[in-house]
Structure 1
Amino acid sequence: MADPSSYRPEPGQVPDSPGVYKFRDEHRRVIYVGKAKSLRQRLANYFQDIAGLHPRTATMVTTAASVEWTVVSTEVEALQLEYSWIKEFDPRFNVKYRDDKSYPSLAVTMNEEYPRVQVMRGPKKKGVRYFGPYGHAWAIRETVDLMLRVFPVRTCSAGVFKRSAQIGRPCLLGYIGKCSAPCVGRVTPEEHRELAEDFCDFMAGRTGTYLSRLEKQMHEAAEEMEYERAARLRDDIGALRRAMEKNAVVLADATDADLIAVAEDELEAAVQIFHVRGGRVRGQRGWVTDKVEAVDTAGLVEHALQQLYGEEKGEAVPKEVLVPALPEDAPALSQWLAGRRGSGVSLRIPQRGDKKALMETVHRNALQSLALHKTKRASDLTTRSRALEEIAEALELDGAPLRIECFDISHLQGDDVVASMVVFEDGLARKSEYRRFQVKGFEGQDDVRSMHEVVSRRFRRYLQEKLKTGEWDAEDGEGGEVPEDDGRPKRFAYPPQLVVVDGGQPQVAAAKRALEELGIDDVAVCGLAKRLEEVWLPGEDDPVVLPRTSEGLYLLQRVRDEAHRFAIQYQRNKRGKRLKAGPLDEVPGLGESRKVALLKHFGSVKKLRQATIDQICEVPGIGRKTAETVAAALAGAVPAGPAVNTATGEIIEDEASAPAETSSERGTAP
């Protein structure tokens, strides 16, 4: 724990100007980012008597080991820089909003030649129109199903679209009238795009004009005795009205606004947002945060606005944002929002009428969200804390292992040897710091030597990062002057309190030996053997046996299983790439990048074998001599039969015939 006076700036050193500041810990990791109208006044508040600081602020300043700042011209620039740094450094003491669920949105891919309507989650993509977010994916599908009758826009995947175009027949939706079937040329790209634009206009709230036009067309068809067309238009109008009924009118005058409400206690806060477009509630979101910094309602609102609109532009930012309290720098925030929208944005507190009533509804939702979260969170926090305490007690550690790293080795009968490193902080996976290793130079299944190499490489990189920052000297072990640092997170800069290896005594001994060879003696090591789930410690003949009901054992199992999943997924990816190449492995002088380029260009080994030398020369990076070598090798490999992987003996014709993984084998990348 550092003394704030040890790194306090000298009097007069801090400028009296707007700017952004960063607190760093002893490992140079950014732990807090803030902005200020006056850097001098704001930073002075952190270096007063610790007894007078808020407990969370006191924890932050005693965890920090240095502070630095950047001067900007205006408060708006400070706001923009603060948001960028929070996104880049992910400081542990800044307010972090967590979605209490993953919210789907209705997306129209206007960036494609034939726009597609689909359900999307995750970060937004450029050129795609989004509507929502919705509470449930089925709510989107019900709305889309009703609207496809009137706006028969494509909803199929790229694969289905390409297949229908190849065989000249549309899919089922094309036959039943819920798709205009651009894949077979029933409509031109321009006509299909016009349908997609009408769909977007209707979803954006411009419904009155379109319904009036349909009603006029229905009456005209009836007058001309085109009764079938009139009936079709009547049903279309009914479908659109049913779609509109799913979102009741809450505000008059086709208002576009976002309403933000906050429910909080001393430790946590819940934020709820209602997205109103065209007077109707088009989406709802909710976030929950730990109040790791001393922040009031106005401060929470400011952070919520940054989180909500930091990456949004254009129509995603409404004309009006209604909040329960105005932040201290509300004019700067309004200017920032206007810059993202491209026109003025009103940031205010509703005082009366329908908007105030709707804000009360949003606040009730926030209260319910906070209550539900605390019900779940109570057991979660208690369980994680107990697990870390049990691990510390069982392994006789000085304190709870707040950062745990686990290593696992994976291979296929000694081939394609890889390793994984997963990181858990405070009992939760920190997937952004997972790492993968390729292990080369060993023959056969030598997990012990592989484990020694991987642990050595990881902690050698850690020592190199310390050397760069002057915290460690390669010759005498003493720290030096800290050089300039760009502040970007380093890949291996932060040491764990506990290293877990997947294995028993041999693997634990190898990991401990790797640390001792590097002179690291402040990191504990243990292994978890799969057979009896025993915990092995270095130099001990007998394992530590934790009760089967132990939360500590359960956490170690989760860490070990995650490392195993991550390692085996990487190993299968490497094996899959090698299997796809097949006979190309035998072509002399052909590297991995050019193998990938050939397969990507031709699609499979079978089609590559049928190509001429001139066609092979068309692939970027392939010269005529190489093309002749490839053609000769493929012609002499297996001319008329399936390709054979010489490493495993497996037979593959092309990509389509490669063995597929079962659902139990398939893994997902973090």
Structure 2
Amino acid sequence: MLERPPAGTIPDTPGSYQFKDADGRVIYVGKAKSLRQRLSNYFQNPANLPPRTFQMVSTAESVEWIQVRNEVEALMLEYSLIKQHRPRFNVRLVDDKSYPFLAVTVSDEWPRPMVMRGRRRKGVRYFGPYAHAYAIRDTLDELLRTFPLRTCSDAKFGRHERLGKPCLLFHIEKCAGPCVGEIDAEHYQRLVDELLEFLDGDTEPVLQRLETQMAEAADALEFEQAARLRDRLATVRRAIERQQMVGDRREDVDVIGIAEDELEASAQVFYVRKGRVVGRFGFLLDKVMDLTAEQTVAAVLEQLYGDEPAVGYPKSVLVPELPEDLDVYQEWLTLQRGSRVDIRVPQRGPKRELAETVTRNATEAFTRHRLKRASDHNSRAKALNELQETLGLPTAPLRIECYDMSHLQGTDYVGSMVVLEDGLPRKQEYRRFKIRGVDGNDDFAAMEEVLTRRLSNYLADRDKPSSEKGR
């Protein structure tokens, strides 16, 4: 049971605190303007604590803290510790799937637009995210007639460069043919710059250029060329129509909508750059602890901006409720962006209407998730109960460890362990074992070694003081 630290040992300074269980695992990370005041809230009469807070305190065996200089540093430290330890009682992502972006590899000798997921890479400009990859491919397919950049892989580019023959995309006017010298680097870079400006929302120069070229071709009686330019102009206008205009061209704003219950929250964000909606992103949070609406907004902000978004930080963020410690979050985002960032609740006009639209999206996504959640939970519970009955276990197996051996003709023997908790993969606890004491092909002996090492480490860790467990 967690004991209150001696009086006077908790500093009256900003910082982050970590509760640990009997096995030394971090189960909750928090931040505070005053560590002394915040931690004292956890050591009051248990009857006054919210149920899930009481569960966390009952599970904890020890508490530690790290002092920092100010509240913004405390917020940044809290985020990094949560990302490192993934504590079970902290708010966490339910679905952390990666959304697709339209990316341009600007650092390449011959940059190319492409669909990209996952972490940001240096030397790449991102636009989006989009709900579906096919939406990017459809848009890109239309834009290539106006901005005929290469979309092939480096290997394919090199192959055609060696052959001295372009691919089909060159012949259907969807690539300028840099692999065979049909365009020089200067003119190719100009196409790249124009595409980037267009995707940034600066569409007028592209429209004016195409209209001028079409008129010039018609005046010169080059009607086939004028017709091609007319078709390109139409495709560009269709692409522009897909980017909903919601404000003036100077506005860079993220609009957040949230729908929640006592267990989870659904968040949606629309990214508005230069007045146009250039992407959207949605995710679900497992609240774990009891959170107010203001605390939920703060948790959503941390998930969105803990790492720099692919589309960059906005000038302002519109939220349904102002977060706890508003000044801290505004100062944090200002520090991340390098210039002033405001967080506010829209009160009237187009911004309020857009915020309501985003919230409707969040509500609809949450409704779909709740229906799926009920179905999935029932399926997992049924499967675990059937496994309990089949194996004659006293209770349902809430933790399952699976082992397998692999080798290359008797060499490079390795064992692997995968873990499931409550019927779901727990990938951070997966392990790989290099077999040391088995010669040749002997899976039984290899399995004995892996299980012996695994269970020996478990017993040794179990007998350590709580402060040293998990190390």
Structure 1 residue 32, shift from structure 2 partner: 0.8
Distance, in Å, in 2 between the alignment partners of 1:17 and 1:51 is 28
Structure 1 segment 523-538 matched on structure 2, within 5 A? none
In structure 2, list runs of 5 or more residues that go unmatched: none
Q: What is the CA–CA distance in structure 2 between the aligned matches of 1:309 and 1:448, rounded to whole Å?
A: 49
Q: Which residue of 2 aligns with 1:211?
A: 207
Deviation at 1:102, TM superposition (A): 4.3
Contact 1:105/1:132 (CA < 8 Å) preserved in 2? yes
Q: Tell which has more relative contact order, 1 or 2 (C-alpha 8 A, sep 6+).
A: 2
Residue of structure 2 aligned with 1:16, choices 3, 6, 12: 12
Please say if 1:65 is aligned against 2:65: no
Partner residue in 1 for 2:318: 322
| Alpha-carbon distance change, 289 to 103 in structure 1, aligned in 2, over 3 angstroms | same
Q: How far did residue 407 of structure 1 move?
A: 0.9
Change (3 A) 1:294 1:481: closer
Does residue 1:293 correspond to 2:283, yes or no?
no
Kept in 2, the 8 Å contact 1:272–1:286? The answer is yes
Native 8 Å contact 1:262 1:297 kept in 2: no
Q: Could you state the TM-score of these two structures normalised by the residue count of structure 2?
A: 0.93
Residue 342 of structure 2 corresponds to: 346
**CA distance in structure 1 between the aligned counterparts of 2:112 and 2:402, rounded to whole angstroms:** 43
The superposition leaves residues 236-267 of structure 1 with CA deviations (integer Å, 9 ceiling, x where unpaired) of 22221011112232334453221111111122
Compute the displacement of 1:408 (Å).
Answer: 1.3
Distance in 2 between the 1:480 and 1:295 partners?
32
Decide which of 245, 254, 258 is 1:258's aligned counterpart.
254
Alignment of 1:510-589 (within 5 A): none
* Distance in 1 between residues matched to 2:139 and 2:310, nearest whole Å: 24
- Looking at structure 2, the residues matched to 400 and 454 of structure 1 have their Cα atoms a distance apart, in angstroms, of 25
Following superposition, the deviation at residue 396 of structure 1 comes to 5.7
Match of 1:422 in 2: 418
CA contact (8 A) 2:319 2:345 kept: yes
Q: Give secondary structure in 2 for the equivalent of 1:26.
A: coil
Residue 140 of structure 2 is aligned to residue 136 of structure 1: no
Matched residue, 1:612: none
Map of 1:280 onto structure 2: 276
Once residues 72 and 437 of structure 2 are traced to their aligned partners in structure 1, the CA distance between those partners, rounded to angstroms, is 55
Equivalent pair of 2:19/2:64 in contact (CA under 8 Å) = yes
Distance in 2 of aligned mates of 1:121 and 1:445: 40
Distance 2:21 2:234 in 1: 62
User: What does residue 248 of structure 1 align with?
Assistant: 244
Percent identity at matched positions? 54
2:82 aligned residue? 86
The residue that corresponds to 2:329 in the other structure is 333
Task: Return the letter of the residue paired with 2:13.
Answer: S
Equivalent in the alignment of 1:178: 174
State how far apart, in whole Å, the 1-side matches of 2:339 and 2:465 are.
Answer: 52
Which range moved further: 95-104 or 199-208? 95-104
CA distance in 1 between partners of 2:131 and 2:439 (Å) = 54
Closer, same or farther in 2 for the Cα pair 1:194/1:352, shift >3 Å?
same
Q: 1:482 to 1:417 in 2, by over 3 A?
A: closer
Alignment of 1:441-452 (within 5 A): 441-452=437-448
Report what 1:631 is aligned to.
none
Say whether 1:189 aligns with 2:185.
yes
Q: Displacement of 1:106 after TM fit?
A: 0.8
Structure 2 CA distance for partners of 1:208 and 1:9, relative to 1, 3 Å:
same
CA RMSD of aligned residues (A): 2.3
- Summarize deviations over 1:12-59 as a string: whole Å, max 9, x none: 211111111111111111111111111111111111122211111111
In the alignment, the residues of structure 2 paired with residue 440 and residue 70 of structure 1 have an alpha-carbon distance, to the nearest angstrom, of 40
Out of 106, 109, 114, which is 1:113 matched to?
109
Counterpart residue number, 2:457 = 461
* Equivalent AA in structure 1 for residue 272 of structure 2: V
Q: What is the deviation of 1:342?
A: 2.1
8 Å CA contact 2:24–2:466 kept in 1: the answer is no
Q: Post-superposition shift, 1:214?
A: 2.9
TM-score of the superposed pair, with normalisation by structure 1: 0.66
* Structure ID, larger Rg: 1
For the residue of structure 2 that corresponds to 1:99, the secondary structure is: coil
**1:379 corresponding residue in structure 2:** 375
Deviations along 1:490-530, one digit per CA (max 9) or x if unpaired, are 5xxxxxxxxxxxxxxxxxxxxxxxxxxxxxxxxxxxxxxxx
| 1:386 CA drift (Å) | 3.8
CA offsets 1:371-413 (integer angstroms, 9 cap, x no match): 1101111121223234444545655656543332111123455
The aligned amino acid for 2:135 is A
Q: Specify the alignment match of 1:547 in structure 2.
A: none
For the residue of structure 1 that corresponds to 2:92, the secondary structure is: coil
Residue identity matched to 2:150: R
For residue 167 of structure 2, what is the amino acid of its counterpart?
Answer: C
The match for 2:149 is 153
Instruction: Specify the alignment match of 1:502 in structure 2.
Output: none
**Aligned partner letter, 1:92:** R
Unaligned regions of 5+ residues in structure 1, if any? 473-478, 491-670
- Superimposed CA distance per residue, residues 631-670 of structure 1 (whole angstroms, 9 cap, x where no aligned partner): xxxxxxxxxxxxxxxxxxxxxxxxxxxxxxxxxxxxxxxx
The offset of 1:196, in angstroms, is 1.7
More off after superposition, 32-41 vs 269-278: 269-278
Aligned length: 471
Instruction: Provide the C-alpha distance between the structure 2 equivalents of 1:245 and 1:28, rounded to a whole number of angstroms.
Output: 55
